[in-house]
Amino acid sequence: DQQVKQNSPSLSVQEGRISILNCDYTNSMFDYFLWYKKYPAEGPTFLISISSIKDKNEDGRFTVFLNKSAKHLSLHIVPSQPGDSAVYFCAARLWTGNTPLVFGKGTRLSVIA
Amino acid sequence: DTAVSQTPKYLVTQMGNDKSIKCEQNLGHDTMYWYKQDSKKFLKIMFSYNNKELIINETVPNRFSPKSPDKAHLNLHINSLELGDSAVYFCASSQGGRGSEGYTFGSGTRLTVV
């Protein structure tokens, strides 16, 4: 049962343009959402997060948008750089208990110079 | 200085063998996890330990046994390895079980069972 879905397995974007990575979730009890970035042969690294009480969080070139009514979040990268080429995982946390993060299956972003 | 280190990075072994993967974190975190990334690329939680106590044990065969000698270490022992155990195993840690500040992951152990 996929509670966190990333329906695009891959995305190619030209350098300097905007990258938009999407994530949908099914469990309305999630209260916190995170994006992780993963390079080959490395573990995922934390990128940016957003609480369910907000609809936007920005950190430099990275912005995460949350639409609770649609159970949808997106990660915007502007401008995209070749070093952003990686797999991006969306993750979510339940509001109660010590439940671990639930991850999507990732989207591979390729930024073409 | 690696924050979460896993050993070995690669492990190739025959069916039926027993193997262990070690994980250590030097971040002072109180919670550690094992995740499995299988061929479908999902990162699925296997176990979660808080201050050496098991708090989450997802539906994982009992051939998998985690051991936490102290809160900086969480090892994974696998008995009677099967072909389907081939995957990348990630160790992670966080401060607090809710991971609000995100998890710090190790670089993964690629296990191949032949």
Biggest distance spanned by C-alpha atoms of chain A: 45
Mutating which of A105, A107, A108 best tests the B interface, going by the most B Cβ atoms within 10 A?
A105
pLDDT tier, B64 (very low <50, low <70, confident <90, very high otherwise): very high
The beta-carbon neighbor of A105 closest among B42, B101, B102 is B42
CATH number of A4-112: 2.60.40.10
Given the candidates 1.10.10.10, 2.60.40.10, 3.40.50.720, 3.40.50.300, the CATH classification of the domain at B4-97+105-113 is: 2.60.40.10
Q: Where are the domains of chain A?
A: 4-112
Q: In chain B, which residue's Cα lies nearest the Cα of A44?
A: B105
Q: Is B99's CB within 8 Å of A100's CB? A: yes
Report residue A9: phi and psi, to 5°: -70, -25
Residues of chain A found within 8 Å of residue B42, distances taken between Cβ atoms:
2, 103-105
Question: How much is the pLDDT for B102?
Answer: 78
pLDDT category at A22 given cuts 50, 70, 90 is: very high
Q: With 90 as the cut, is the pLDDT of residue B1 above it? A: no
Q: Do A41 and B97 touch (CB under 8 A)?
A: no
The average pLDDT across B47-61 equals: 82
Query: What is the per-residue pLDDT for A97?
Result: 65
- How far A79 CA sits from the closest chain B CA (Å)? 24
Whether B39 has a pLDDT exceeding 90, the answer reads no
Q: pLDDT tens digits for A54-92?
A: 999 999 999 999 999 999 999 999 999 999 999 999 999
If you write DSSP's letter for every residue of A47-63 in order, what string do you get?
A: EEEEETT-SEEEETTEE
Over chain B, what is the mean pLDDT? 90
Search chain B and give the residue with CA nearest A41. B107
Residues A75 and B67: their CA atoms lie apart, in Å, by: 37
Residue B98's pLDDT is 60
Q: Please determine, for residue B55, whether its predicted confidence score (pLDDT) is greater than 90.
A: no
Report how far residue A47's alpha carbon sits from residue A70's, in angstroms, rounded to the nearest whole number: 23
